């Protein structure tokens, strides 16, 4: 999820949406779904590439037509760029398949013609004893064999080229897939990838009858920190916490930036005691480092994180275990922050699924 999309899922989203509608009305832009998405990105990231391009077009007096909006979306909106990349890869793959099909068809025709040539030569040889006639038949067969050999070589070359091109497209699409499921700020998985992995992990736990734990981690007092030091320094803090989480999240564990300053971790087939120990190690490491502002080298002090986790119940949904882990996180917040809370250790009334 991009930083803009994360912002649009937070408390500032309503102000951003209202400002976007106000600007669309001022510049006589129809409030279509696409335009609304463009202008909310414009408001949420006023220094971004999309905002700069919209500002340029407005200064030139360019009308915001549907075509202009589509071009802006294709160039600057992550989902639109992703769809365009997938579509382009699909078009290239279709062209490759067409070329291969044509090469195979040509080879089939040549082989069929060669078969007829062989059959005709066989009949001619049966009927003829004339040396000169036999020589002509053999020469014709040699020429036909060369043609078939050349056609087969051409097919082999085309297939090799296509195999290389398809492999290149596969690698490109794999990179596109990674980009689509990776948070741009932290390089952890994004919310979409996390939701998919949680569903998969729950299904695997049901199939194998194994345990599954889910943890939610949140940077304490982050809004105040952001207001004091600015968003760029806030991003520096988020990246730092993500790096600590990422170091202990090697597969089969799975870590993601869930949104804003919140992170989530999946622990397949691990006992609650191990999960609690791991979260405590993360908490201690994060709080033990005195941070400095990169641009000015000013001391920022230490930051802390609060965590909550839950062990999955038999056949429990991902949504339910997430709610229980969230409840444990908020218990950590209410308890003074900078601590780890297990959902199972909470009162039954606070831990209802």
Catalytic residues: 261
β-pairing, 305-311 vs 212-219, is: antiparallel
Identify the residue whose tokens are 């037509």.
65
Strand extents, DSSP E, the chain: 212-219, 254-259, 262-268, 291-292, 299-301, 305-311, 340-342
Report d(CA 304, CA 220) in Å as an integer: 6
- 215: closest CA among 50, 69, 332, 98? 332
Which single residue is written with the structure tokens 């039954």? 348
- With contact defined as beta carbons under 8 Å apart, do 332 and 340 qualify? yes
Q: What is the 3-class SS of 279-344, one letter each residue?
A: HHHHHHHHHHCCEECCCCCCEEECCCEEEEEEECCCCCCHHHHHHHHHHHHHHHHHCCCCCEEEHH
CA distance linking residue 142 with residue 162, whole number of Å? 30
In the three-class reduction of DSSP (H, G, I as helix; E, B as strand; rest coil), residue 121 is classed as helix
Contacts of 100 (CB under 8 A, 6+ apart): 158, 159, 162
Q: Which residues contact 135 (CB under 8 A, 6 or more apart)?
A: none
């Amino acid at each position: 999820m991009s930083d803009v999309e994360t912002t649009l899922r937070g408390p500032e989203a309503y102000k951003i949406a209202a400002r976007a509608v106000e600007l669309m009305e001022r510049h006589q832009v129809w409030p279509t779904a696409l335009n609304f998405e463009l202008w909310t990105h414009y408001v949420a990231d006023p220094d971004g590439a999309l905002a700069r391009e919209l500002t340029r077009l407005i200064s030139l007096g360019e009308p915001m037509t549907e075509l202009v909006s589509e071009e802006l979306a294709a160039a600057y909106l992550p989902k639109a760029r992703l769809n365009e990349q997938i579509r382009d890869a699909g078009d290239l793959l279709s062209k490759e398949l067409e070329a291969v099909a044509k090469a195979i068809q040509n080879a089939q025709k040549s082989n069929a013609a060669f078969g007829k040539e062989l059959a005709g030569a066989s009949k001619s040889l049966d009927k003829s004893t004339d040396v000169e006639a036999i020589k002509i038949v053999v020469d014709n067969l040699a020429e036909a064999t060369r043609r078939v050999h050349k056609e087969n070589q051409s097919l082999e070359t085309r297939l090799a080229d296509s195999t290389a091109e398809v492999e290149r497209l596969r690698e490109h699409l794999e990179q596109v897939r990674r980009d689509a499921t990776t948070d741009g700020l932290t390089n952890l998985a994004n919310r979409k990838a996390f939701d998919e992995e949680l569903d998969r992990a729950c299904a695997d736990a049901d199939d194998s009858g194994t345990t599954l734990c889910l943890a939610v981690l949140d940077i304490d007092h982050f809004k105040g920190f952001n207001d004091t030091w600015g968003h760029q320094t806030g991003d520096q803090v988020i990246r730092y916490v993500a790096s600590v989480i990422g170091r202990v999240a090697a597969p089969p564990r799975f870590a993601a930036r869930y949104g804003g300053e919140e992170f989530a971790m999946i622990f397949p087939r691990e006992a609650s005691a191990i999960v609690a120990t791991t979260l405590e190690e993360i908490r201690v490491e994060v709080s033990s480092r005195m941070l400095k502002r990169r641009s000015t080298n000013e001391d920022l002090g230490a930051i802390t994180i609060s965590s909550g986790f839950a062990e999955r119940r038999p056949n429990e949904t991902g949504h339910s275990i997430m709610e229980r882990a969230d409840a444990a996180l908020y218990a950590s917040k209410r308890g003074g922050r900078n601590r780890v809370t297990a959902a199972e250790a909470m009162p039954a009334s606070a831990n209802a699924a």
